[in-house]
Amino acid sequence: MGGIAMSEKMLVTQALDERDLLVKKIRSRIEKSSFVDTVKRNEDTVYEARVSREEFRKKAESAYQQIQDLTDRFYRLDAAIVASNASTYIETSYGKMSVAGAIAMRSRMRGNSTYGDFDNLLYVHMAQEYSNRISVVNDKNRQLQATAEDMRISILGRDTKVREDKPLGVVDAYIQENTTELADPLDIKQKMDALQEKRDKLLQELDTQIKVANATTFITI
């Protein structure tokens, strides 16, 4: 038939599955193939494969051609998938974008990008700072309570009953005035919760939209 390749139509989902399978097949075929061996001039059997020169030649040529055919199939599938992703559009919370753009955004949000996910970077920074500041507040207020207790003892002595019966306004005022609290103008916990909710919602949205597009879009190879 002259070796003319027939065009083939399939869903992107099918193409993705086949592409993943091809990667495994190609790697396995390369690892298991032998293209060069050793042989004595006065013998016909090659050393490692333990087959005749002619048989070894046939196997090497066949393996090489199989790898070339599988690789060609992979490249054609991959090119068709990339072209489809660039020309197929979906609706997201960020507006209309190509599937390629959505995949790039999802990868970035999952940390698989050079640039990283800025919302997650902001969330992590906020969480670390919030945790550190809470620790500072707790430490300072524990120290304050210890100082206040020393003040009570110096004024009233160590008789617990006496101290309980005579609450000291000056000590209470000292605690009130010197208590450490968060300076939190943004209500950082609320901001963090909003960032997390936004990220979870968008990731789920992108996953769903990409899957729907892949399951309903045809490509031709």
User: Residue 91: enclosing H or E segment and its boundaries?
Assistant: strand 89-92
123-134 per-position pLDDT tens digit: 999 999 999 999
Q: How many CB atoms lie within 10 A of CB 131?
A: 10
> 74-120 pLDDT, tens per residue?
999 999 999 999 999 999 988 999 999 999 999 999 888 777 789 99
Q: Which two tokens stand for residue 99?
A: 């599937």
Q: How far is CA 151 from CA 4, 15, 126, 146, 170, in A?
A: 96, 77, 37, 9, 9
- Of the candidates 125, 131, 129, 99, the one whose C-alpha atom is nearest the C-alpha of residue 216 is 99
Kindly state the percentage of the chain with pLDDT values over 70: 93
Q: What is the pTM of this model?
A: 0.75
